[in-house]
Amino acid sequence: MKETLEALVAEMVEKGILFDEARAEFERRFIQRVLDLAHGNRSNAAQTLGMHRNTLSRKMGELHLVADNHADARKSTRSARA
């Protein structure tokens, strides 16, 4: 994995990608992947990420991320059937 990361960093530097852009994109993708694996459960995702739930919510706002909350989707489906 270290070699893959080194190659990616080299490519980003060569293409002139700024540090802040690279960091934000990494955070966005990393957090989104963990949220997806947690099925949108912010508490579980925050625990996996090693951060407080409020910190995760703040980061999600900064990075314009949305949690795919399966529980809310199930509630909507049940309400539509009623």
CATH for 2-81? 1.10.10
* 80, pLDDT greater than 70: no
Question: Cβ distance 53 to 43 under 8 Å?
Answer: yes
State the Cα–Cα distance between residues 66 and 50, nearest whole angstrom: 19
Question: Cβ distance 31 to 63 under 8 Å?
Answer: yes
- Please indicate, yes or no, whether the overall pTM of this predicted structure exceeds 0.95: no
- pLDDT value of residue 69: 64
Domain boundaries, the chain: 2-81
State the Cα–Cα distance between residues 24 and 11, nearest whole angstrom: 17
- pLDDT value of residue 66: 87
* 68, pLDDT greater than 80: no
- Condensed to tens digits (0 to 9), the pLDDT of residues 11-64 reads 999 999 999 999 999 999 999 999 999 999 999 999 999 999 999 999 999 999
Whose CA is closest to 33, among 51, 45, 17? 45
- pLDDT value of residue 76: 42
